[in-house]
Structure 1
Amino acid sequence: MGPTDGTAGTGPGEKPAAAGLPPGDFGVVLATLRARHGWSVREFARRANVSEGQVCNLESGLRNPTPAVATACDAVLGTGGRLAELADSVRRGVPPDGIVEPGPLVAGYERVLGELKGIGRSTGPRFVTASLKSVIRTLKDAGERSGGEQDAGVWLLASEFAEYTGWMAQEAGNTAEALRWTNCAVRWGARGGDETVAAYALVRKAHIAQYRGDTGAALGWAAQAERHPAATSAIRAHAARRAAQSHARRGDPGACRDALERFGGHAAEISDGRPPHWGPRIGDGGPHLLEASCMLGLRRFGPAADLFADAYGPVTATDSNSRARFAVRRATALAGAGRLDDACHLVSATLPVIRLIDSATVRADLARFVEEARPLKAGPGLLGVIDASAALAAGRALAAG
């Protein structure tokens, strides 16, 4: 989805609408296409000459579009009348008292989830949250109406959507909402016959506690996840990752090393090569980046900086969130090792991405960079980078309450 010029409905450097509409009802399609363009609700509303409230109501499924609004959305997105045609159809595609056929619904929304995850990794939660919630409403409705054994697939997909919505809530800085959606994922997963989400939910709770600075709670949740009878090897590896980083933040190198060894053992048991049902791929970022993050937590800045340098190449080809996260951690290690010029150069190049993705967890890492850089002797140029980083990190902290 690189910049493209000369496409209907786009300006220079903007992303065009896809040749075909993504699956889903009007609200889901609208939110997905808006996210593809990288437009906020406010920006899209301005372009379509409608109110922000109208856009939110359409994307969330609270309102159906009028012909005039659907036509305006068509014009802005360059969809050639297809959105207007979609608006004329029955919103959920089934009679009010009808029975849903789950198969096509699940297949279509599985593709939507994959696309929204890709957008979320590159642009942050504000571009995908409305669409995620709209799909969840559709799936819940379909799950209640579907008949036979296939309804389990609807609830499992609803569970996956809820889990990712919880992650986006955490990225937006709302941990209470993150926990609420995670608990929904557990309930709907069980309704679909999958207990593994209950194990992965413990990993998510460990992650939330870790970013709150409560390492004791993080270790407790991670230990429960590793012991959970429904945990897969991938889930146990995720749990060991959280334990290793939490032990590092506590300054316990021995326990950190034990957790890293458990991580390696669990990861080695994953042999089918398929994406895990819950959470990111274990290999994302590579084991060297995990070890580097642990060295950073242990304040072993020199070794951490070297490890980040060795492992950083593959990360630069992944999503914006990962690039920003590990760039900031690498800069923190460089600052701790006394290489403030290199650290500030790296952060300066990363600040625009951090502003775009608006991630609370990345901002938390940025705050750690400021903690290490602030006490060091810096000239006006470097001090400007540190001040800008502090303002950005504090801005998210204030917004999150």
Structure 2
Amino acid sequence: MRDALTSRDMSVVVRAYRRHPAHGRKPLPQSDVARWLNITQGQLSRIEAGRNRVRDLDKLVHYARCLRIPAELLWFDVGEADHESPKANAVLGLPGGPMVHAAAERTEPALVGALLNTLQQYVITDNLAGPHSLLTVVAQQTSFAERLLTESRERNRGDLLHVTARFAEFTGWLHQDAGDLHTAMRWSNTALDLAQEAGDAHLTSYIRMRKSNIASDARKPDLTIAFARAALQKPGALTPRLKAVALRQEAHGHALAGSYDECARALDHAFQHAADAPDDDADIARYCTPSYVEMEAAHCWVELGQPAKALATLQQGLAEWHPDFRRDLGLCLARLAIAHAGTEQPDEALTVAQHSLAITTETRSARTKHQLHRAAELLDTTGAHDHARHLRHTLRTTLR
């Protein structure tokens, strides 16, 4: 333990404490130590693995006191022990009056509802303006949800696990669209730990699908397919749209691998599930409609080198586009520019790309920027060198 303490790293200290021979031949269960520290087992696992560094002084002091580490061995000042404060749910005797509960009801249920409503507003803002205006504020809200979780009582724990997982998943998405795929996957892993601890099959499936989506942005077909298939485990517990959105991701993986038949088969199954789905506002994948699957199929056809097959679908989807999804409008226009470039229509490709660029300067979506650069590459490949040069110049001077 003294060696661990000289590292000045609480993750090393906690890991050494749990595995110390004084506790017996086997390490102390993570679940027990997590309960002592008033955190989740998933959080403790991430701390021990060095993925969550403990730097906050209040947390360092709290962990040191819970593990009864002598103050003289620590690298920080624990201060004087606080006088014991009344518990939030303690019985309070009012002078000359009745005995009452200091807090008759906890506030967690109301906070869960408020946080979910706040998250929905963030989703709307993201759709309109992109990720960058939200990255800091959503990270703060996610930290707040995590703090609520560490302080929660058992009866409210499931709801808090769910809302914290939702915020972590959304934080991962923001980093993905901002172009930081490593951080996006890290947040998605955190979200998956929380969803699994909550026993939430729907959210677990959805987050695995999101991990597949990150892998496809990284152009890793095998990993894309593996995560998508993991999302489809226990299909009897999933809604039709959850199945559809995971199958859509499997199709993307096959498209990246150049497997036309497997891609088409996955898209057919995705379309069938989306078409069979009832309207349900509570479904986390409610956006996965038949028209959404068709638009995703168009992206697969472009990836498979069949842009002509994608043109009609993309144009029809754009004609029916909802204005609330402005960031994704830019992405769809960029994909349409690629389709035009692939069918040797350079004038149309450049015009559409410029419309996409006008939106991307506002949203700063890294995913859309990548597609616009692909359009320029394809223009070069098809011999439209002047168009490609013009688009690259515009991208370079506009998206600084």
Q: Please report the TM-score for the alignment, with normalisation by the length of structure 1.
A: 0.68
Are 1:260 and 2:267 matched, yes or no?
Answer: yes
* Structure 2 equivalent of residue 90 of structure 1: none
SS at match of 1:256: helix
User: Which has the higher mean CA deviation after the structures are superposed, 354-363 or 229-238?
Assistant: 229-238
* Percent sequence identity over aligned pairs: 22
Are 1:238 and 2:250 matched, yes or no?
Answer: no
Structure 2 counterparts to residues 2-401 of structure 1, below 5 A = 98=88, 100-228=106-234, 231-277=238-284, 279=285, 281-283=287-289, 286-315=292-321, 317-378=323-384, 383-389=389-395
The CA deviation at 1:97 is 6.3
The CA deviation at 1:231 is 4.1
SS at match of 1:150: helix
* Structure 2 equivalent of residue 18 of structure 1: none
**2: CA distance between counterparts of 1:280 and 1:120?**
17
**2: CA distance between counterparts of 1:156 and 1:174?**
24
The CA deviation at 1:202 is 1.9
Mark the runs of 5 or more structure 1 residues left unpaired by the alignment: 1-60, 63-94, 396-401
Superimposed CA distance per residue, residues 8-38 of structure 1 (whole angstroms, 9 cap, x where no aligned partner) = xxxxxxxxxxxxxxxxxxxxxxxxxxxxxxx
Per the alignment, do residues 270 and 308 of structure 1 end up closer, same or farther by CA in structure 2, a change over 3 Å counting?
A: same
Larger radius of gyration: 2
**2: CA distance between counterparts of 1:392 and 1:300?**
30
**2: CA distance between counterparts of 1:200 and 1:316?**
23
SS at match of 1:137: helix
* Code of the aligned partner of 1:389: L
* Code of the aligned partner of 1:328: A
**2: CA distance between counterparts of 1:97 and 1:367?**
59
The CA deviation at 1:228 is 4.2
* Code of the aligned partner of 2:213: H
The CA deviation at 1:310 is 2.1
**1: CA distance between counterparts of 2:134 and 2:112?**
19
* Code of the aligned partner of 2:325: D
Per the alignment, do residues 118 and 260 of structure 1 end up closer, same or farther by CA in structure 2, a change over 3 Å counting?
A: same
The CA deviation at 1:164 is 0.5
RMSD over aligned CA atoms reads 2.7
* Code of the aligned partner of 2:264: R
Runs of 4+ more than 6 Å apart: 390-393
Per the alignment, do residues 215 and 153 of structure 1 end up closer, same or farther by CA in structure 2, a change over 3 Å counting?
A: same
**1: CA distance between counterparts of 2:316 and 2:143?**
45
CA contact (8 A) 2:346 2:387 kept: no
**1: CA distance between counterparts of 2:192 and 2:356?**
36
Q: Please report the TM-score for the alignment, with normalisation by the length of structure 2.
A: 0.68
CA contact (8 A) 1:233 1:270 kept: yes
**2: CA distance between counterparts of 1:261 and 1:216?**
20
The CA deviation at 1:105 is 0.9
**1: CA distance between counterparts of 2:388 and 2:230?**
44
CA contact (8 A) 2:209 2:228 kept: yes
CA contact (8 A) 1:139 1:158 kept: yes
Superimposed CA distance per residue, residues 246-275 of structure 1 (whole angstroms, 9 cap, x where no aligned partner) = 222333221111101110232234214324
* Code of the aligned partner of 2:124: G
Superimposed CA distance per residue, residues 330-370 of structure 1 (whole angstroms, 9 cap, x where no aligned partner) = 11001111111011011112212112212222222222212
* Code of the aligned partner of 1:240: L
Per the alignment, do residues 391 and 371 of structure 1 end up closer, same or farther by CA in structure 2, a change over 3 Å counting?
A: farther
Aligned length: 301
* Structure 2 equivalent of residue 19 of structure 1: none
**1: CA distance between counterparts of 2:153 and 2:128?**
37
CA contact (8 A) 1:370 1:389 kept: no
* Code of the aligned partner of 2:344: G
**1: CA distance between counterparts of 2:310 and 2:156?**
49
SS at match of 2:196: helix
CA contact (8 A) 2:127 2:324 kept: no
**1: CA distance between counterparts of 2:375 and 2:396?**
9
**1: CA distance between counterparts of 2:354 and 2:170?**
30
The CA deviation at 1:292 is 1.6
**2: CA distance between counterparts of 1:199 and 1:153?**
17
The CA deviation at 1:385 is 2.2
**2: CA distance between counterparts of 1:138 and 1:123?**
24
Per the alignment, do residues 308 and 386 of structure 1 end up closer, same or farther by CA in structure 2, a change over 3 Å counting?
A: same
SS at match of 1:274: coil
CA contact (8 A) 2:379 2:388 kept: no
Per the alignment, do residues 246 and 357 of structure 1 end up closer, same or farther by CA in structure 2, a change over 3 Å counting?
A: same
**2: CA distance between counterparts of 1:284 and 1:162?**
28
